[in-house]
């Protein structure tokens, strides 16, 4: 079967995320998240490598955008870490309802904008000092070069993008099958994985929500897409840490493999 068109894949993924939102809202992790943000004005969801990178850049007086912000836990964290303003963009209005609730609980005036992230209104062009992209975003993008052009236009001259992502090597495994670290898929796979189950974190229920598509992008494509968008790479680190939030994430493999990375790039002045 031939892969779906760009527009078909984007629409299908949006429907699947919207349908998955109530499952996330009902999970006990949501109550814990709201308690954490309500009880601590300095609470941050970011893990140590990403938080260290953000603090090294310095968020004070900066306006920050997060692409594919989901329920806003990281967008709100950006303001807790000192950002002057933070805007989260996401295609799922259902998840942004949760993001707005989380911002209210935290007492942070974040702004959340719904819509296809490839078609963000030009009013936001050159409006941000920093763009943040985190765990699992790239897998939902059919065309990485087209996607990377978006943060490039959102950034002010001299602005930075910080990416903390799952390492694409994780896509070659099927963790639920033994042996877990047997290579079962091509690293350079060109067709998306097709799913039907709800997109959930952890081991909770995952009922069918409709077809959705997960794309594989080798690390070279990530780097080339940044360069093609006119962004100069400043920093690149790989880590053995498994940062995936899904139940079928690959095992840590005792530090044998890179399972995550951090990449920072800058727009020219």
pLDDT at 73: 98
pLDDT at 13: 98
Q: 222: Cβ–Cβ under 8 A, 6 or more apart, which residues?
A: 138, 144, 163, 165, 168, 263
Q: What DSSP line would sit under 248-265, residue for residue?
A: TPPP-GGGTS--EEEEEE
Pick from 22, 2, 61, 27: nearest CA to 194: 2
- The string of pLDDT tens digits covering residues 54-111 is 999 999 999 999 999 999 999 999 999 999 999 999 999 999 999 999 999 999 999 9
CA distances from 7 to 14, 196, 213 (A): 11, 18, 12
Greater confidence, 201 or 194?
A: 194
Residue 176 has pLDDT above 70, yes or no: yes
CA distances from 47 to 39, 54, 74, 236 (A): 19, 11, 10, 17
Structure tokens at 15: 């429907």
C-alpha 96/C-alpha 148 separation (Å) is 22
pLDDT at 205: 84
- The string of pLDDT tens digits covering residues 9-66 is 999 999 999 999 999 999 999 999 999 999 999 999 999 999 999 999 999 999 999 9
Q: What DSSP line would sit under 127-185, residue for residue?
A: -EEEEEE-TTSGGG-S-HHHHHHHHHHHEEEEEEEEEEEE-GGGGG--TTSSSTTS--S
- What domains does the chain contain, in order, with CATH numbers? 6-267 (3.40.50.150)
Residue 179 has pLDDT above 70, yes or no: yes
Residue 220 has pLDDT above 60, yes or no: yes
Pick from 255, 253, 247: nearest CA to 181: 253
Residue 252 has pLDDT above 80, yes or no: no
Mean pLDDT of 185-204: 91
Q: Of all residues in the chain, what percent carry a pLDDT higher than 70? A: 95
pLDDT at 19: 98
Residue 255 has pLDDT above 90, yes or no: no
């Amino acid at each position: 079967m031939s892969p779906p068109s760009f527009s078909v894949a984007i629409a299908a993924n949006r429907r699947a995320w919207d349908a998955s939102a109530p499952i996330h809202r009902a999970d006990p992790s949501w109550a814990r998240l709201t308690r954490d943000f309500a009880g601590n004005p300095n609470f941050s969801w970011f893990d140590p490598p990403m938080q260290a990178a953000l603090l090294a850049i310095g968020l004070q007086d900066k306006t920050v955008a997060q692409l594919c912000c989901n329920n806003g836990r990281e967008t709100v964290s950006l303001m807790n870490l000192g950002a002057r303003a933070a805007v989260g963009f996401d295609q799922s209005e259902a998840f942004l309802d949760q993001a707005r609730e989380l911002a209210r609980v935290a007492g942070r005036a974040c702004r959340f904008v719904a819509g296809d992230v490839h078609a963000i209104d030009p009013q936001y062009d050159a409006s941000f000092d920093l763009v943040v992209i985190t765990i699992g975003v790239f897998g939902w993008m059919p065309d990485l070069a087209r996607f990377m052009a978006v943060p490039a236009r959102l950034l002010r001259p001299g602005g930075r993008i910080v990416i903390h992502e799952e390492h694409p090597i994780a896509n070659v495994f099927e963790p639920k099958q033994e042996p877990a670290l047997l290579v079962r898929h091509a690293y350079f796979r060109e067709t998306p994985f097709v799913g039907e189950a709800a997109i959930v974190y952890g081991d909770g229920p995952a009922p069918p929500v409709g077809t959705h598509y997960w794309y594989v992008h080798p690390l070279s494509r990530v780097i080339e897409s940044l360069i093609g968008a006119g962004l100069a790479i400043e920093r690149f680190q790989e880590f053995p840490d498994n940062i995936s939030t899904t139940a079928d994430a690959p095992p840590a493999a005792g530090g044998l493999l890179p399972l995550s990375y951090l990449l920072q790039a800058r727009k020219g002045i």
